[in-house]
Chains A and B, each alone.
Chain A
Protein backbone atom coordinates (compact mmCIF):
# COMPACT_ATOMS: atom_id res chain seq x y z
CA UNK A 1 0.00 0.00 0.00
CA UNK A 2 2.65 2.51 1.01
CA UNK A 3 4.39 2.20 -2.32
CA UNK A 4 1.25 2.97 -4.31
CA UNK A 5 0.79 6.14 -2.27
CA UNK A 6 4.38 7.17 -2.93
CA UNK A 7 3.75 6.48 -6.62
CA UNK A 8 1.21 9.29 -6.41
CA UNK A 9 3.40 11.53 -4.29
CA UNK A 10 6.56 11.27 -6.35
CA UNK A 11 5.27 12.80 -9.61
CA UNK A 12 3.50 15.54 -7.60
CA UNK A 13 6.72 16.45 -5.82
CA UNK A 14 8.69 16.52 -9.07
CA UNK A 15 6.01 18.69 -10.69
CA UNK A 16 6.14 21.05 -7.68
CA UNK A 17 9.92 21.33 -7.92
CA UNK A 18 9.69 21.98 -11.64
CA UNK A 19 7.06 24.72 -11.32
CA UNK A 20 8.62 26.42 -8.35
CA UNK A 21 12.33 26.11 -9.11
CA UNK A 22 12.48 25.16 -12.83
CA UNK A 23 14.59 22.07 -12.21
CA UNK A 24 13.16 19.20 -14.19
CA UNK A 25 13.51 15.76 -12.59
CA UNK A 26 10.36 14.40 -14.20
CA UNK A 27 12.39 12.29 -16.63
CA UNK A 28 14.61 10.74 -13.97
CA UNK A 29 14.46 6.99 -13.29
CA UNK A 30 12.32 6.61 -10.19
CA UNK A 31 14.23 3.88 -8.32
CA UNK A 32 17.34 5.97 -7.64
CA UNK A 33 15.29 9.11 -7.19
CA UNK A 34 13.19 7.44 -4.48
CA UNK A 35 16.31 6.30 -2.70
CA UNK A 36 17.81 9.76 -2.74
CA UNK A 37 14.53 11.33 -1.65
CA UNK A 38 14.34 8.86 1.24
CA UNK A 39 17.70 10.19 2.40
CA UNK A 40 16.43 13.75 2.02
CA UNK A 41 13.31 12.86 4.04
CA UNK A 42 15.58 11.59 6.80
CA UNK A 43 17.60 14.77 6.75
CA UNK A 44 14.53 17.02 6.87
CA UNK A 45 12.69 14.74 9.34
CA UNK A 46 9.78 14.18 6.95
CA UNK A 47 7.70 11.03 7.11
CA UNK A 48 6.26 11.33 3.61
CA UNK A 49 7.08 12.81 0.23
CA UNK A 50 4.04 15.05 0.66
CA UNK A 51 5.60 16.57 3.77
CA UNK A 52 8.82 17.07 1.88
CA UNK A 53 6.85 18.78 -0.89
CA UNK A 54 5.21 21.12 1.62
CA UNK A 55 8.58 21.99 3.09
CA UNK A 56 10.35 22.63 -0.17
CA UNK A 57 7.51 24.66 -1.69
CA UNK A 58 7.29 26.98 1.29
CA UNK A 59 10.91 27.23 2.35
CA UNK A 60 13.02 28.04 -0.73
CA UNK A 61 16.08 28.30 1.47
CA UNK A 62 16.00 24.51 1.81
CA UNK A 63 15.93 23.83 -1.91
CA UNK A 64 19.71 23.87 -2.52
CA UNK A 65 20.13 21.13 0.08
CA UNK A 66 17.44 19.04 -1.57
CA UNK A 67 19.11 19.67 -4.92
CA UNK A 68 22.34 18.25 -3.52
CA UNK A 69 20.51 15.08 -2.50
CA UNK A 70 19.01 14.79 -5.97
CA UNK A 71 22.01 15.58 -8.11
CA UNK A 72 25.37 15.29 -6.42
CA UNK A 73 27.33 12.40 -7.68
CA UNK A 74 30.65 11.64 -6.07
CA UNK A 75 33.03 10.25 -8.64
CA UNK A 76 36.76 9.62 -8.70
CA UNK A 77 39.48 10.94 -10.90
CA UNK A 78 40.22 8.53 -13.73
CA UNK A 79 37.35 6.30 -12.64
CA UNK A 80 37.48 3.21 -14.88
CA UNK A 81 41.11 3.54 -15.94
CA UNK A 82 40.57 1.44 -19.10
CA UNK A 83 38.23 4.16 -20.40
CA UNK A 84 40.95 6.79 -20.11
CA UNK A 85 43.51 4.42 -21.57
CA UNK A 86 41.25 3.86 -24.58
CA UNK A 87 40.78 7.63 -24.98
CA UNK A 88 44.52 8.09 -24.83
CA UNK A 89 45.44 5.28 -27.19
CA UNK A 90 42.57 5.25 -29.67
CA UNK A 91 40.87 8.66 -29.60
CA UNK A 92 43.70 11.11 -28.90
CA UNK A 93 45.58 10.24 -32.14
CA UNK A 94 42.49 11.36 -34.09
CA UNK A 95 41.88 14.41 -31.90
CA UNK A 96 45.43 15.53 -32.69
CA UNK A 97 44.38 16.13 -36.29
CA UNK A 98 42.14 19.07 -35.27
CA UNK A 99 43.78 22.50 -35.03
CA UNK A 100 41.65 23.27 -31.98
CA UNK A 101 39.60 21.02 -29.77
CA UNK A 102 36.38 21.32 -27.86
CA UNK A 103 35.38 18.78 -25.24
CA UNK A 104 32.10 18.66 -23.31
CA UNK A 105 31.90 16.96 -19.92
CA UNK A 106 28.14 16.79 -19.42
CA UNK A 107 26.86 16.38 -15.87
CA UNK A 108 30.31 17.04 -14.39
CA UNK A 109 29.10 17.32 -10.77
CA UNK A 110 32.11 18.09 -8.53
CA UNK A 111 34.60 17.94 -11.39
CA UNK A 112 36.67 14.78 -10.93
CA UNK A 113 36.17 13.75 -14.55
CA UNK A 114 36.90 17.24 -15.84
CA UNK A 115 40.32 17.38 -14.21
CA UNK A 116 41.06 13.84 -15.32
CA UNK A 117 40.46 14.82 -18.94
CA UNK A 118 42.41 18.07 -18.54
CA UNK A 119 45.39 16.14 -17.17
CA UNK A 120 45.14 13.55 -19.92
CA UNK A 121 45.06 16.27 -22.60
CA UNK A 122 47.97 18.04 -20.93
CA UNK A 123 50.00 14.82 -20.93
CA UNK A 124 49.23 14.37 -24.61
CA UNK A 125 50.23 17.95 -25.39
CA UNK A 126 46.71 18.94 -26.41
CA UNK A 127 45.40 20.98 -23.48
CA UNK A 128 46.79 24.24 -24.79
CA UNK A 129 44.62 24.10 -27.88
CA UNK A 130 41.61 22.65 -26.08
CA UNK A 131 38.54 24.13 -24.50
CA UNK A 132 36.67 21.93 -22.01
CA UNK A 133 33.04 22.74 -21.25
CA UNK A 134 32.14 21.36 -17.83
CA UNK A 135 28.41 21.58 -17.25
CA UNK A 136 25.97 20.62 -14.51
CA UNK A 137 22.60 21.75 -13.17
CA UNK A 138 23.80 22.11 -9.59
CA UNK A 139 25.46 25.49 -9.03
CA UNK A 140 27.09 24.51 -5.75
CA UNK A 141 28.56 21.34 -7.30
CA UNK A 142 29.92 23.50 -10.13
CA UNK A 143 31.50 25.84 -7.58
CA UNK A 144 33.21 22.90 -5.93
CA UNK A 145 34.32 21.66 -9.33
CA UNK A 146 35.71 25.07 -10.13
CA UNK A 147 37.66 25.21 -6.87
CA UNK A 148 39.53 22.04 -7.84
CA UNK A 149 39.95 21.10 -4.17
CA UNK A 150 39.54 17.49 -3.02
CA UNK A 151 40.13 15.65 0.23
CA UNK A 152 43.72 14.48 0.37
CA UNK A 153 42.47 11.11 1.61
CA UNK A 154 40.95 10.47 -1.83
CA UNK A 155 44.12 11.25 -3.75
CA UNK A 156 45.74 7.82 -3.26
CA UNK A 157 42.82 6.24 -5.15
CA UNK A 158 43.01 8.95 -7.84
CA UNK A 159 46.75 8.32 -8.21
CA UNK A 160 46.26 4.59 -8.57
CA UNK A 161 43.58 5.08 -11.24
CA UNK A 162 45.71 7.64 -13.04
CA UNK A 163 48.66 5.25 -13.21
CA UNK A 164 46.44 2.49 -14.62
CA UNK A 165 45.15 4.87 -17.29
CA UNK A 166 48.55 4.87 -19.00
CA UNK A 167 49.79 8.05 -17.30
CA UNK A 168 52.72 9.87 -18.81
CA UNK A 169 53.39 11.90 -15.67
CA UNK A 170 52.80 11.74 -11.94
CA UNK A 171 49.49 12.99 -10.61
CA UNK A 172 51.41 14.86 -7.91
CA UNK A 173 52.68 17.19 -10.67
CA UNK A 174 49.18 18.66 -10.81
CA UNK A 175 48.25 19.40 -7.23
CA UNK A 176 49.54 20.93 -4.01
CA UNK A 177 48.67 19.21 -0.76
CA UNK A 178 47.92 21.32 2.30
CA UNK A 179 45.83 20.91 5.45
CA UNK A 180 44.31 17.62 4.37
CA UNK A 181 43.31 18.95 0.97
CA UNK A 182 44.74 18.56 -2.51
CA UNK A 183 44.43 21.72 -4.58
CA UNK A 184 44.62 21.13 -8.31
CA UNK A 185 46.66 23.45 -10.47
CA UNK A 186 45.18 26.69 -11.75
CA UNK A 187 46.89 26.10 -15.08
CA UNK A 188 44.55 23.17 -15.72
CA UNK A 189 41.57 25.46 -15.23
CA UNK A 190 42.58 28.10 -17.76
CA UNK A 191 41.15 25.91 -20.53
CA UNK A 192 37.99 24.87 -18.68
CA UNK A 193 34.67 26.72 -18.81
CA UNK A 194 32.29 25.77 -16.00
CA UNK A 195 28.67 26.43 -16.87
CA UNK A 196 25.13 25.79 -15.73
CA UNK A 197 23.36 23.51 -18.21
CA UNK A 198 20.41 21.16 -17.89
CA UNK A 199 20.34 18.03 -20.01
CA UNK A 200 16.58 17.88 -19.35
CA UNK A 201 15.66 21.34 -20.60
CA UNK A 202 18.56 23.14 -22.34
CA UNK A 203 19.81 22.68 -25.89
CA UNK A 204 23.15 22.14 -27.61
CA UNK A 205 25.44 25.15 -27.28
CA UNK A 206 28.60 24.43 -29.26
CA UNK A 207 30.17 22.03 -31.71
CA UNK A 208 32.57 19.69 -29.97
CA UNK A 209 34.87 16.81 -30.95
CA UNK A 210 34.37 14.78 -27.77
CA UNK A 211 31.51 14.42 -25.30
CA UNK A 212 32.20 12.56 -22.08
CA UNK A 213 29.08 11.81 -20.05
CA UNK A 214 29.57 8.85 -17.78
CA UNK A 215 27.13 7.41 -15.27
CA UNK A 216 24.61 10.17 -15.90
CA UNK A 217 22.27 8.44 -18.35
CA UNK A 218 21.59 5.58 -15.91
CA UNK A 219 19.68 8.09 -13.77
CA UNK A 220 17.34 9.02 -16.63
CA UNK A 221 14.33 7.21 -18.04
CA UNK A 222 14.40 6.06 -21.67
CA UNK A 223 12.67 9.16 -22.97
CA UNK A 224 15.13 11.54 -21.32
CA UNK A 225 18.03 9.30 -22.38
CA UNK A 226 16.82 9.77 -25.96
CA UNK A 227 16.65 13.52 -25.57
CA UNK A 228 20.18 13.67 -24.18
CA UNK A 229 21.68 11.39 -26.82
CA UNK A 230 19.98 13.64 -29.39
CA UNK A 231 21.72 16.65 -27.80
CA UNK A 232 25.05 14.86 -28.01
CA UNK A 233 24.46 13.98 -31.65
CA UNK A 234 23.63 17.62 -32.40
CA UNK A 235 26.69 18.85 -30.50
CA UNK A 236 29.26 16.51 -31.99
CA UNK A 237 31.10 17.37 -35.16
CA UNK A 238 31.08 14.88 -38.00
CA UNK A 239 32.94 11.77 -36.79
CA UNK A 240 33.08 13.16 -33.23
CA UNK A 241 33.39 10.90 -30.17
CA UNK A 242 31.03 10.07 -27.33
CA UNK A 243 32.20 8.37 -24.12
CA UNK A 244 29.59 6.80 -21.83
CA UNK A 245 29.74 4.90 -18.52
CA UNK A 246 30.68 1.23 -18.36
CA UNK A 247 27.01 0.17 -18.19
CA UNK A 248 25.54 2.69 -20.60
CA UNK A 249 24.95 2.41 -24.33
CA UNK A 250 23.41 4.15 -27.33
CA UNK A 251 22.15 0.74 -28.45
CA UNK A 252 18.52 0.94 -27.29
CA UNK A 253 17.95 4.60 -28.02
CA UNK A 254 16.14 6.29 -30.87
CA UNK A 255 19.53 7.69 -31.92
CA UNK A 256 21.43 4.41 -32.12
CA UNK A 257 21.62 4.83 -35.92
CA UNK A 258 23.58 8.07 -35.44
CA UNK A 259 26.48 6.38 -33.66
CA UNK A 260 28.77 3.43 -34.26
CA UNK A 261 30.93 1.53 -31.79
CA UNK A 262 34.45 2.89 -31.71
CA UNK A 263 35.93 1.12 -28.68
CA UNK A 264 33.03 -1.12 -27.74
CA UNK A 265 34.50 -2.48 -24.48
CA UNK A 266 35.14 0.98 -23.11
CA UNK A 267 31.87 2.50 -24.32
CA UNK A 268 33.38 4.97 -26.76
CA UNK A 269 31.10 5.66 -29.70
CA UNK A 270 31.60 7.68 -32.87
CA UNK A 271 29.09 9.83 -34.63
CA UNK A 272 28.33 8.49 -38.08
CA UNK A 273 29.35 10.68 -41.01
CA UNK A 274 25.86 11.32 -42.36
Chain B
Protein backbone atom coordinates (compact mmCIF):
# COMPACT_ATOMS: atom_id res chain seq x y z
CA UNK B 1 0.00 0.00 0.00
CA UNK B 2 1.45 3.39 -0.94
CA UNK B 3 1.35 6.48 1.28
CA UNK B 4 -1.10 9.36 0.82
CA UNK B 5 1.81 11.62 -0.14
CA UNK B 6 2.89 9.20 -2.88
CA UNK B 7 -0.69 8.83 -4.03
CA UNK B 8 -1.23 12.55 -4.56
CA UNK B 9 2.27 13.73 -5.55
CA UNK B 10 2.25 15.63 -8.89
CA UNK B 11 -1.41 14.76 -9.37
CA UNK B 12 -3.32 17.48 -11.25
CA UNK B 13 -6.57 15.72 -12.07
CA UNK B 14 -8.79 13.38 -10.06
CA UNK B 15 -11.43 11.35 -11.87
CA UNK B 16 -14.17 9.93 -9.68
CA UNK B 17 -16.90 7.49 -10.67
CA UNK B 18 -19.90 6.25 -8.70
CA UNK B 19 -23.39 4.97 -9.29
CA UNK B 20 -25.79 3.49 -6.71
CA UNK B 21 -25.10 5.02 -3.29
CA UNK B 22 -22.85 7.66 -4.82
CA UNK B 23 -24.51 10.80 -3.51
CA UNK B 24 -23.73 9.97 0.13
CA UNK B 25 -20.12 8.96 -0.57
CA UNK B 26 -19.43 12.00 -2.73
CA UNK B 27 -21.03 14.21 -0.16
CA UNK B 28 -18.65 12.85 2.51
CA UNK B 29 -15.62 13.15 0.22
CA UNK B 30 -16.26 16.59 -1.24
CA UNK B 31 -16.98 18.06 2.17
CA UNK B 32 -13.55 16.80 3.30
CA UNK B 33 -11.68 18.80 0.66
CA UNK B 34 -9.59 21.79 1.75
CA UNK B 35 -9.94 25.16 0.04
CA UNK B 36 -6.24 25.02 -0.95
CA UNK B 37 -6.42 21.62 -2.65
CA UNK B 38 -4.69 22.23 -6.00
CA UNK B 39 -6.24 19.39 -8.04
CA UNK B 40 -9.16 19.48 -10.48
CA UNK B 41 -11.90 16.92 -9.85
CA UNK B 42 -13.96 15.30 -12.61
CA UNK B 43 -17.01 13.35 -11.49
CA UNK B 44 -19.43 11.00 -13.19
CA UNK B 45 -22.32 9.99 -10.99
CA UNK B 46 -25.00 7.84 -12.58
CA UNK B 47 -28.37 9.37 -11.91
CA UNK B 48 -31.66 9.13 -13.79
CA UNK B 49 -31.42 11.54 -16.69
CA UNK B 50 -33.26 14.75 -16.18
CA UNK B 51 -32.59 18.38 -16.54
CA UNK B 52 -31.61 20.63 -15.06
CA UNK B 53 -29.25 18.62 -12.88
CA UNK B 54 -29.02 19.89 -9.34
CA UNK B 55 -25.86 17.97 -8.49
CA UNK B 56 -23.51 20.94 -8.70
CA UNK B 57 -25.83 23.03 -6.52
CA UNK B 58 -26.29 20.27 -3.97
CA UNK B 59 -22.56 19.72 -3.55
CA UNK B 60 -21.47 23.36 -3.81
CA UNK B 61 -22.97 24.05 -0.41
CA UNK B 62 -20.83 21.33 1.18
CA UNK B 63 -17.52 21.79 -0.58
CA UNK B 64 -14.73 24.29 0.08
CA UNK B 65 -13.83 24.26 -3.61
CA UNK B 66 -16.02 25.70 -6.36
CA UNK B 67 -18.36 23.04 -7.80
CA UNK B 68 -19.92 23.29 -11.25
CA UNK B 69 -21.30 21.33 -14.17
CA UNK B 70 -18.63 21.00 -16.86
CA UNK B 71 -19.38 22.85 -20.10
CA UNK B 72 -18.34 21.90 -23.62
CA UNK B 73 -14.85 23.28 -24.54
CA UNK B 74 -14.48 24.85 -21.08
CA UNK B 75 -10.81 25.02 -19.97
CA UNK B 76 -10.10 23.03 -16.79
CA UNK B 77 -9.29 25.17 -13.74
CA UNK B 78 -7.17 23.99 -10.83
CA UNK B 79 -8.89 23.59 -7.47
CA UNK B 80 -12.32 23.09 -9.00
CA UNK B 81 -14.86 20.25 -8.89
CA UNK B 82 -16.70 19.43 -12.12
CA UNK B 83 -19.72 17.18 -12.63
CA UNK B 84 -20.72 15.58 -15.92
CA UNK B 85 -24.05 16.98 -17.13
CA UNK B 86 -26.96 14.53 -17.28
CA UNK B 87 -27.39 12.59 -20.53
CA UNK B 88 -23.99 13.56 -22.00
CA UNK B 89 -20.62 11.86 -21.85
CA UNK B 90 -17.91 14.03 -20.32
CA UNK B 91 -14.45 13.80 -21.89
CA UNK B 92 -11.13 15.54 -21.36
CA UNK B 93 -9.51 17.01 -24.44
CA UNK B 94 -6.28 18.88 -25.15
CA UNK B 95 -5.81 22.09 -23.20
CA UNK B 96 -6.87 20.47 -20.97
CA UNK B 97 -10.47 21.39 -21.68
CA UNK B 98 -13.75 19.54 -21.46
CA UNK B 99 -15.63 18.02 -24.36
CA UNK B 100 -19.16 16.65 -24.29
CA UNK B 101 -20.60 13.94 -26.49
CA UNK B 102 -24.00 12.39 -27.00
CA UNK B 103 -22.57 9.14 -28.36
CA UNK B 104 -24.41 5.96 -27.43
CA UNK B 105 -24.52 4.98 -23.74
CA UNK B 106 -21.67 2.75 -22.53
CA UNK B 107 -22.76 -0.01 -20.13
CA UNK B 108 -26.23 1.54 -20.36
CA UNK B 109 -24.77 4.74 -18.95
CA UNK B 110 -24.51 8.28 -20.26
CA UNK B 111 -22.51 9.88 -18.77
CA UNK B 112 -20.21 6.87 -18.58
CA UNK B 113 -17.36 6.53 -16.10
CA UNK B 114 -15.29 4.57 -18.65
CA UNK B 115 -15.57 7.37 -21.20
CA UNK B 116 -14.46 10.01 -18.69
CA UNK B 117 -11.61 7.90 -17.27
CA UNK B 118 -10.23 6.76 -20.64
CA UNK B 119 -10.19 10.27 -22.10
CA UNK B 120 -8.72 11.76 -18.90
CA UNK B 121 -6.01 9.06 -18.86
CA UNK B 122 -5.11 10.03 -22.42
CA UNK B 123 -4.71 13.72 -21.54
CA UNK B 124 -3.30 13.59 -17.99
CA UNK B 125 -1.28 10.33 -18.11
CA UNK B 126 0.75 10.03 -14.87
CA UNK B 127 -0.75 13.23 -13.43
CA UNK B 128 -4.16 11.58 -12.93
CA UNK B 129 -5.68 9.81 -9.96
CA UNK B 130 -8.69 7.59 -10.65
CA UNK B 131 -11.13 6.74 -7.88
CA UNK B 132 -13.87 4.11 -8.16
CA UNK B 133 -16.61 4.33 -5.54
CA UNK B 134 -19.82 2.48 -4.71
CA UNK B 135 -21.91 1.26 -7.64
CA UNK B 136 -24.14 -1.43 -9.05
CA UNK B 137 -22.83 -1.42 -12.59
CA UNK B 138 -19.45 -2.36 -14.07
CA UNK B 139 -19.05 0.96 -15.89
CA UNK B 140 -15.73 2.36 -14.65
CA UNK B 141 -13.70 -0.84 -14.30
CA UNK B 142 -12.14 -0.56 -17.79
CA UNK B 143 -11.59 3.15 -17.32
CA UNK B 144 -9.68 2.69 -14.08
CA UNK B 145 -7.44 0.12 -15.75
CA UNK B 146 -6.80 2.60 -18.57
CA UNK B 147 -5.67 5.19 -16.01
CA UNK B 148 -3.25 2.63 -14.56
CA UNK B 149 -1.89 1.76 -18.01
CA UNK B 150 -1.32 5.44 -18.79
CA UNK B 151 0.84 5.78 -15.67
CA UNK B 152 -1.77 7.35 -13.39
CA UNK B 153 -2.63 6.17 -9.89
CA UNK B 154 -5.70 4.15 -9.01
CA UNK B 155 -7.83 3.87 -5.89
CA UNK B 156 -10.88 1.74 -5.21
CA UNK B 157 -13.30 2.11 -2.33
CA UNK B 158 -13.10 -1.02 -0.19
CA UNK B 159 -16.11 -3.06 -1.35
CA UNK B 160 -17.17 -3.88 2.22
CA UNK B 161 -17.41 -0.15 3.00
CA UNK B 162 -19.39 0.61 -0.16
CA UNK B 163 -23.19 0.87 -0.16
CA UNK B 164 -23.19 -1.30 -3.29
CA UNK B 165 -19.95 -3.29 -3.73
CA UNK B 166 -20.42 -4.46 -7.33
CA UNK B 167 -18.51 -1.65 -9.08
CA UNK B 168 -15.52 -1.65 -6.68
CA UNK B 169 -15.32 -5.43 -7.00
CA UNK B 170 -15.43 -5.21 -10.80
CA UNK B 171 -12.60 -2.63 -10.71
CA UNK B 172 -10.50 -4.84 -8.43
CA UNK B 173 -11.03 -7.82 -10.70
CA UNK B 174 -9.93 -5.83 -13.71
CA UNK B 175 -7.00 -4.55 -11.56
CA UNK B 176 -4.24 -3.97 -10.64
CA UNK B 177 -4.97 -0.96 -8.40
CA UNK B 178 -2.60 1.03 -6.21
CA UNK B 179 -4.78 1.32 -3.16
CA UNK B 180 -8.01 0.03 -1.61
CA UNK B 181 -9.42 2.46 0.95
CA UNK B 182 -12.42 2.57 3.27
CA UNK B 183 -14.63 5.62 3.05
CA UNK B 184 -12.98 7.02 6.21
CA UNK B 185 -9.49 6.63 4.74
CA UNK B 186 -10.66 8.23 1.49
CA UNK B 187 -11.93 11.17 3.53
CA UNK B 188 -8.54 11.38 5.25
CA UNK B 189 -6.81 11.35 1.88
CA UNK B 190 -8.93 14.25 0.65
CA UNK B 191 -8.76 16.15 3.95
CA UNK B 192 -4.96 16.21 3.97
CA UNK B 193 -4.58 17.16 0.30
CA UNK B 194 -3.20 20.66 -0.04
CA UNK B 195 -2.12 20.94 3.58
CA UNK B 196 1.22 22.71 3.74
CA UNK B 197 3.99 20.21 4.03
From 90 to 127 in chain B, residues with beta carbon under 8 angstroms from any chain A beta carbon are 91-94, 99-104, 115, 118-119, 122-123, 125
Contact of A218 among B99, B104, B150 (CB under 8 A): B99
Give every chain A residue within 8 A of B115 (Cβ-Cβ): 35
> Is B125 in contact with A3, judged by CB distance below 8 angstroms?
yes
Q: Nearest Cβ distance between residue A37 and chain B, in whole angstroms?
A: 12
Interface flag for A73 (CB, 8 Å): yes
> Is B103 in contact with A73, judged by CB distance below 8 angstroms?
yes
Chain A interface residue count, Cβ-Cβ cutoff 8 angstroms: 28
30 A-B residue pairings within 8 Å (CB atoms): A2-B150, A3-B122, A3-B123, A7-B94, A29-B73, A31-B93, A31-B99, A31-B101, A31-B119, A32-B99, A32-B101, A34-B119, A34-B122, A35-B91, A35-B103, A35-B115, A35-B119, A36-B103, A73-B103, A82-B51, A218-B99, A218-B100, A218-B102, A219-B101, A221-B73, A245-B102, A246-B85, A247-B72, A247-B88, A248-B72
Give every chain B residue within 8 A of A31 (Cβ-Cβ): 91-93, 99, 101, 119, 122-123
List A residues at the B interface (Cβ < 8 Å).
2-3, 6-7, 29-32, 34-36, 73-75, 80, 82, 215, 217-219, 221-222, 225, 245-248, 252
Chain B interface residue count, Cβ-Cβ cutoff 8 angstroms: 24
In the complex, the chain A residue whose C-beta lies closest to that of B96 is: A31
List B residues at the A interface (Cβ < 8 Å).
51, 71-73, 85, 87-88, 91-94, 99-104, 115, 118-119, 122-123, 125, 150
> Is B73 in contact with A35, judged by CB distance below 8 angstroms?
no
> Is B93 in contact with A218, judged by CB distance below 8 angstroms?
no
In the complex, the chain A residue whose C-beta lies closest to that of B91 is: A31
5 closest Cβ pairs, A-B complex: A31-B93, A31-B91, A31-B99, A215-B102, A32-B101
In the complex, the chain B residue whose C-beta lies closest to that of A7 is: B94
Give every chain A residue within 8 A of B123 (Cβ-Cβ): 3, 31
> Is A3 in contact with B150, judged by CB distance below 8 angstroms?
yes
Give every chain A residue within 8 A of B92 (Cβ-Cβ): 31
Q: A2-B150, A3-B125 given; name 6 further pairs at CB < 8 Å.
A: A31-B93, A31-B101, A82-B51, A246-B85, A247-B88, A252-B73
> Is B99 in contact with A247, judged by CB distance below 8 angstroms?
no
CA of A222 to CA of B103, assembled, Å: 19
In the complex, the chain B residue whose C-beta lies closest to that of A4 is: B125
Give every chain A residue within 8 A of B88 (Cβ-Cβ): 218, 246-247
Give every chain B residue within 8 A of A74 (Cβ-Cβ): 104
Q: Nearest Cβ distance between residue A245 and chain B, in whole angstroms?
A: 7
> Is A247 in contact with B100, judged by CB distance below 8 angstroms?
yes
Give every chain A residue within 8 A of B103 (Cβ-Cβ): 32, 35-36, 73
> Is B104 in contact with A29, judged by CB distance below 8 angstroms?
no
> Is A246 in contact with B119, judged by CB distance below 8 angstroms?
no
In the complex, the chain A residue whose C-beta lies closest to that of B125 is: A3
CA of A170 to CA of B95, assembled, Å: 47
> Is B93 in contact with A29, judged by CB distance below 8 angstroms?
yes
Residue of A31, A219, A252 with most chain B CB atoms under a 10 A cut-off:
A31
Give every chain A residue within 8 A of B102 (Cβ-Cβ): 73, 75, 215, 218, 245
Give every chain B residue within 8 A of A246 (Cβ-Cβ): 51, 85, 87-88
Give every chain A residue within 8 A of B51 (Cβ-Cβ): 80, 82, 246
Q: Nearest Cβ distance between residue A48 and chain B, in whole angstroms?
A: 14
In the complex, the chain A residue whose C-beta lies closest to that of B105 is: A74
In the complex, the chain B residue whose C-beta lies closest to that of A214 is: B102
CA of A218 to CA of B88, assembled, Å: 10
CA of A34 to CA of B120, assembled, Å: 12
Give every chain A residue within 8 A of B71 (Cβ-Cβ): 247
In the complex, the chain B residue whose C-beta lies closest to that of A265 is: B52
CA of A32 to CA of B115, assembled, Å: 9
Q: Nearest Cβ distance between residue A47 and chain B, in whole angstroms?
A: 14
CA of A248 to CA of B85, assembled, Å: 12
Give every chain A residue within 8 A of B119 (Cβ-Cβ): 31, 34-35
CA of A214 to CA of B103, assembled, Å: 13
Q: Nearest Cβ distance between residue B125 and chain A, in whole angstroms?
A: 7
> Is B73 in contact with A247, judged by CB distance below 8 angstroms?
no
Give every chain A residue within 8 A of B150 (Cβ-Cβ): 2-3
